[in-house]
Amino acid sequence: MRIDSTQRPWLYFSIALIVVSTAVYIPYAQMTTAAGSTAVGLTFGVIALGFMVFAALLSLRKRYRILRIGAARVWMKAHLWLGALALPMVLFHAAFHARGLLAFVLMILTFIVVLSGIYGAYLQHTLPTRMFREVPYETIYDQIGVIQEQLVAEAHQHAINVTQMLAPARGAGATVTMTLVEIPEYGNEVAAFDTFFESTVEPYLQAKRKQAIGMDLRHSAHAARAFEDFRKMFPANAWPPITALEDICSEKRQLDHQIRLHHWLHGWLLIHLPISAALLLLAFIHVVVALRY
């Protein structure tokens, strides 16, 4: 969800609600002992609970098609702003301090849910632009594993082509590859390149994102120096497959970066959703306890 000019009505509504609530709370707190059990305190509590329940309805709307009433963008905006407004309403309800363990836990969970929601909105606003700018090879996330396998196969072919480019053809249209023994002037260089490919390039291309963290080719500057060194070793006709291998490693770095950004974009939900569910459950328990006692 983008944070753009269409969010202004919600911003104005939020400011107005906070201003009105503050104008009500200040004289109320000065005239009496503010508490959640008073009429004003209960009003703030009901508003806070209503905002929490509405925010939770977004998950139900996504899960059950029959509940998809209204535009998804409107629901997302309402979820963000009303969910955030639950925090000041909770503070007004509790008179800015928690009485008892349950109230304290509820207040802490409210802070965590609201802050994680704001962080998620920030990620949803900024990461698509970063993805477009930093991952030119961006692809469908679920296809990344297949593409990485293809990159390994392509890399093997380009590594073979380095030797093929050095071997002179025999006869018109011939493409027979000579052995390293028949190319003595580049035998050591090709052997070094083969070792580099087998010990550095291939393991990097096959590694998962976290496995590749400590590998040299994960760093673009190191990779550029390594491939440039091999281009200096060989004549110009062997440069294209070497450069192609360098491009494949660059694509691997971008795919890993896409995975990293994808985890950032969705990982915050691992905190936000379960804690939101716990908050809502404890809020209803708090209501029942307050009504009974």
Residue with tokens 């305190």: 41
Tokens of 239: 């440069």
Tokens of 180: 């390293």
Give 8's contacts (C-beta < 8 A, 6+ positions apart).
none
CA 15 to CA 96: how far, in whole Å? 19
- Out of 19-23, 122-126, 217-221, which region has the weakest mean confidence (pLDDT)? 122-126
Q: Give the tens place of pLDDT for each residue, 167-214.
A: 654 444 444 444 444 455 677 888 899 999 999 999 999 999 888 888
CA 245 to CA 225: how far, in whole Å? 13
Indicate the pTM of the whole model. 0.74
* Closest by Cα among 288, 292, 224, 286 to 100: 286
Confidence of residue 232 (pLDDT cuts 50, 70, 90): very high
56 vs 114: which has the higher pLDDT: 114
